[in-house]
Amino acid sequence: MPEILKAYGYHIYFWSNESEPLEPIHVHFSKSPHKNATKYWILRDGSVLQDNNNDKIPINDLKKLVNCITLERNISLIEEKWVEHFGEISYLK
C-alpha cells in the first residue's frame, strides 16, 4: 500500500494489488488505510472524479483533500508513484 501523502489527518494512497487488469489511476482517502476506502479517479487533465465516499468523509474535509491532490505538483507525484509501482498508467475514459 504505497502512501503518497498525508493531509488533514488522512492518508492518501493506493493499493498494491489493484485488480487484473490494472484499474485506471486513482487514490484512496481514509484516516486508517483499508481496502474499501473513499476513492477518487485521477483524470487525464489533472482533475478528479469521486468514485465513492465509503468512509463518509465530511464534505469540508473532502474539499480540502481534493484541493490537495489536484495541485499540479501532487498530481505529478501521484502519477510518478503510480508508474513507479505499477509500471504503466491509464486514465478513466
What pLDDT is recorded for position 43?
96
Cell of 84: 513507479
What burial letters (b/e) apply to 16-35, b meaning 16+ CB within 10 Å? eeeeeeebbbbbbbbeebee
Distance separating alpha carbons of residues 31 and 7, to the nearest angstrom: 10
What pTM value is reported for the model? 0.92
- DSSP H or E stretch at residue 83: helix 72-86
Q: Residue 3 CB: number of other CB atoms within 10 A? A: 13
Check pLDDT > 90 for residue 35.
Answer: no
**pLDDT for 22:** 84
Per the structure block, which three cell numbers stand in for 85? 509501482
Instruction: Please give the mean pLDDT across all residues of the chain.
Output: 93
